[in-house]
Structure 1
Amino acid sequence: MQATQPQLNMNFIGYEAVTGQGDSFQSFAPARNEALTDEFANVSAEQANQAVDKAAAAFSAYAKLHPAQRADFLDAIAAEIEALGDDLIERAVLESGLPTGRISGERGRTMGQLRMFATLLREGSWVDARINPALPDRQPLPRPDLRRMLVPLGPVVVFGASNFPLAFSVAGGDTASALAAGCPVIFKAHPSHPGTSSLVGQAIVEAAQKTGMPDGVFSLLHADNDVAQGLVAHPAVRAVGFTGSRRGGLALLRVAQERPEPIPVYAEMSAVNPVVIMPGAIQENAVKVAEGLAASVVLGVGQFCTNPGLVFLLDSPQTDSFLETVAVKIRASAPATMLNAGICQSYYKGVQQIRVLPGIHVLAEGETEASHDRTEGRATVLTTTAPLFLSNPDLSHEIFGPSSLVVVCQTEAELADCVQSLEGQLTATLFATPDELHQSSVDWIELLQTKAGRVLFGGYPTGVEVCEAMTHGGPFPATTDSRTTSVGTGAILRFVRPVTYQSFPDALLPLALQNANPLGIWRNVDGKMTK
């Protein structure tokens, strides 16, 4: 069944579609380099507060729902998104400049995430139920009955990302994991794809109504920065999910920390995702490694948070030919439309600031000129030496787009110093032979895992599998909390906290902790996992 077509310029405060009372703006088509006719209006601070108030009122009822009911809600969201059909695909392509195939895949990933969390809820063991029954006769002191589980935090504010208009947006991983945890969501739409956001927001509202969720379990707001920061400061908000720039993430973190009651901000901000390539890997498979590396750099016009922005090589007899293979692939790469004019301009500015430095050389750039009228990004790979890299911290900063800096090192110790100097990352990649690693004086695996949340061996960081074992996070500034992930079922743990119930009558306990185990979940009872 086709979902009801919404007015693209609507905000949703709970079930109510409203026109914003703030400044108006237009959506933009980057591939056409033109503004679209749709006009949107940001909400006022008063309207934003109404959304939070509704979420706060909905929290108690939503948190108490049977897990299967929340699972049905998530499945219904996926079904409503699917029912939007080509309208959603076409709008997302128009507003992002991304190709149809990419958006179609992202829609599938979005629905898959929702259904993955629905499955998690129905199985139920994620609440980490722990039970220590009373020991009234224990000497010298009796033990009371103690039962512990995870419970939802409360209303969560989620900020959409520019580079994933579906999978890290309105119904993306942050929203899915927060709703799964039992937390109402107030979503702040990204201005790069407001029409896409409204379509998906309408789908979530319809799913909420059809499954009987409380009004206020979800709101979609177009908002300026001041109103958005006001959402974070609202005393009823209990956590924040964010994907974007370091500047934006740190601004929200400051607001959250300056509240009378600070709250967690789970921000994914910046990473250069270093790739370490040892001589043995080049000797064994130079062409395959080089071609794969070049493809990873230009994938999605380099607009992935896992783009390999730094490559470290040990100088060897094969280094020049390896780099020439990379150069050939980069020269052949075609420029493509970037997400918006601001991102495109920042990309070229970042590359220019580095390429003019002494000791920086252009290995290759795309031979086809980019059309700046269409905000196209052209790939660029630069090279430098380890001493220069170590002397200039700016060389380790992210340039968001299809570029990478190759650092050629003379010794393994020099290479290790370069990696050790890096900030926290989402990913770190190692190409090496087992013999090289066994003979090395550096424990490369240990070094890389101190720097990143995901360590790859013989692969490329672009592409993040949505599954139980995924970690999409890392030490600061990749994220504001390296103990968490924003992808995979572990993401639900960001929006819960543990509570211990002491000496409660069985009938008053949450279902997950009752003696009969009515949910049939795995529980830790006196140190033993059992159903």
Structure 2
Amino acid sequence: MTNTLNGNSLINGEWVPGSEGEIKALNPATEEHLEPVFSLIGADQLDAAAQAAHEAFPGYSATDPTERADFLDLIVANLEDRREAIVDRAKQETGLTEARLNGELSRTSNQLRLFATVVRSGSFHRVRIDPALPEREPAPRADIRQRMVPLGPVAVFGASNFPLAFSTAGGDTASALAAGCPVLFKAHNAHPGTAELVAQAIHEAITELGLPAGTFSLVYGPGAKIGQRLVADPRITAVGFTGSRSGGLAIARTAFERARPIPVYAEMSSINPVVVLPGALESASDLAEGFVGSVTGSSGQLCTVPGLIFVPEGPEGDKFVSRTVELVDAAVGQTMLTPSIAKSWAEGVEHMSAQSGVQIVARGQDGQGSNAPGPVLFETNAETLLVNAELQKEIFGAASLIVRYREPAQLQEAVAKVEGQLTVTVHATEADHDDVAALVPRLENLAGRILYGGWPTGVEVGHAMVHGGPFPATSDSRTTSVGTLAIERFLRPVAYQDFPQDLLPAPATDANPWDVSQSIDGK
């Protein structure tokens, strides 16, 4: 095992220096550049990486459940061996706390372990068998068997705000590898050293198990230029992306305009509205503390931060707002991930401040350094929200908008105007349940995850989780980027008609040697 950084891309099992310039990581807390220099690849090297993934696909996709699950488990073991080095480097590159990064690395490992269990169970094959009915009248029925097969090489883009859980070995990579797809990973240039350390863990597992060298590649490139070329490459069959709306749409546009369009699973923009009904205001102080904690944690740089909260007008709602203002005024800013993210946050705050009918009601203290702005709280009313779509623009960071509403009918109207989200949260008591029941159909059309109580920050990794939602939260609301259902993004169904048993894929045979679940005649 080595933790030494070489600053090169991993292409077809070799660490290859780039030919298109260099970058250095920046510590956002101190604004000091970090060693080493990372070289950026050019078109020819990207072509070699895509070809390696293409050539790896037949062999890697043919691995049996034990081989593939063992691979995922070995990546986990290698990550845990490197935990101290990974967390230390990520802390320097992101300004995130050691506790947050240790938790994120544990989540990354847990995602891989979870997908290893899915691979061993074989449930993702979703085998369906309609046995032949040769005596059926007026026409016989053929023997038809269906299973899911992997798409092919997948391009994954590292996220700026999750250097581990949505990055090199994160959810998109884990689910694609579990599906049997090689991964070509484009590292985020804000945390290149973290990406390399994690890639070393994956490469070591590939080498130890004798898997095709192109099963996983790591590339560093000059921003959008290399990313667009990667998406346009005809050997790439799907894309996983977490980032801005503009970035996600640019990738989706390129993928759609290809001679052979491919699916893009882009998580983009979400303000995760919270709906407070009157009964919940019985605990206004506790509610305010939970809300502010959710908004300010990790400097608000989470895709599920509540950027908008509906609060009833009246004395009880005033108490909630008053306590929230106190908490935000007392809050201290935390270091943001990069200077550019801090700049975008400031621009978003300025834009919101300029909107008619919106006012800043609280502003926290700036933290140490130039990239730790104090949290900001805005307030407006439902009438203003209804006529100004600009109030729904995401401010990526610790900022949120309180929207006061008069009665349930106005709340229903305002909620109906909100665009697609990852989450929507309802705070209510039993006395409010009639109003909640009336809201639920709208909320189902609004978001991928609906919470009753609690706060949306913190996404459980499990079988039932949905981390997705209608546009612009994601580019495809039919799936999720977290949880075991995520594997289905990189699979497609194939039917085998009247195939001899010895030519059928193992999970679709009568012998069923992998012991996967089979639906036979719908049972």
Q: TM-score range by the shorter chain?
A: over 0.9
Partners of 2:366 and 2:373 within 8 A in 1? no
Matched, 1:394 2:390: yes
CA distance in 2, matches of 1:86, 1:370: 26
What is the Cα deviation at residue 441 of structure 1? 9.2
Change (3 A) 1:505 1:41: same
Equivalent position to 1:449, from 444, 449, 456:
444
Amino acid at match of 2:468: G
Matched, 1:487 2:482: yes
User: Which secondary structure does the structure 2 equivalent of 1:454 belong to?
Assistant: strand
What is the Cα deviation at residue 415 of structure 1? 1.6
Partner of 1:32: 30
Q: Map of 1:112-511 to 2, 5 A cutoff?
A: 112-224=110-222, 225-283=224-282, 285-366=283-364, 368-371=365-368, 373-438=369-434, 440=435, 443-511=438-506
User: Which secondary structure does the structure 1 equivalent of 2:34 belong to?
Assistant: strand
What is the Cα deviation at residue 38 of structure 1? 1.9
Amino acid at match of 2:30: R
Matched, 1:513 2:511: no
- The normalised TM-score by structure 1 is 0.97
Amino acid at match of 2:417: S
Per-residue deviation, residues 292-347 of structure 1 (Å, max 9, x unmatched): 11111101100000000001112122111111111122122221100000000110
Amino acid at match of 2:144: L
What is the Cα deviation at residue 442 of structure 1? 7.0
User: Which secondary structure does the structure 1 equivalent of 2:167 belong to?
Assistant: coil
Partners of 2:3 and 2:85 within 8 A in 1? no
CA distance in 2, matches of 1:19, 1:234: 21
- The normalised TM-score by structure 2 is 0.98
CA distance in 2, matches of 1:154, 1:131: 24
CA distance in 1, matches of 2:188, 2:373: 21
Partner of 2:103: 105
Runs of at least 5 residues in structure 2 that lack an aligned partner in the other structure: none
Partner of 2:62: 64
Amino acid at match of 2:366: E
Amino acid at match of 2:483: G
CA distance in 1, matches of 2:413, 2:133: 55
Partner of 2:40: 42
What is the Cα deviation at residue 429 of structure 1? 0.5
What is the Cα deviation at residue 389 of structure 1? 1.5
User: Which secondary structure does the structure 2 equivalent of 1:337 belong to?
Assistant: coil
What is the Cα deviation at residue 355 of structure 1? 1.6
What is the Cα deviation at residue 519 of structure 1? 1.0
CA distance in 1, matches of 2:6, 2:385: 48
Partners of 1:313 and 1:415 within 8 A in 2? no
Partners of 1:26 and 1:36 within 8 A in 2? yes
Root-mean-square deviation (CA, aligned residues, Å) is: 1.2
Partner of 1:74: 72
Amino acid at match of 1:61: G
Amino acid at match of 1:369: D
Matched, 1:89 2:87: yes
CA distance in 2, matches of 1:245, 1:502: 44
Runs of at least 5 residues in structure 1 that lack an aligned partner in the other structure: none
What is the Cα deviation at residue 129 of structure 1? 0.4
Q: Percent identity?
A: 48
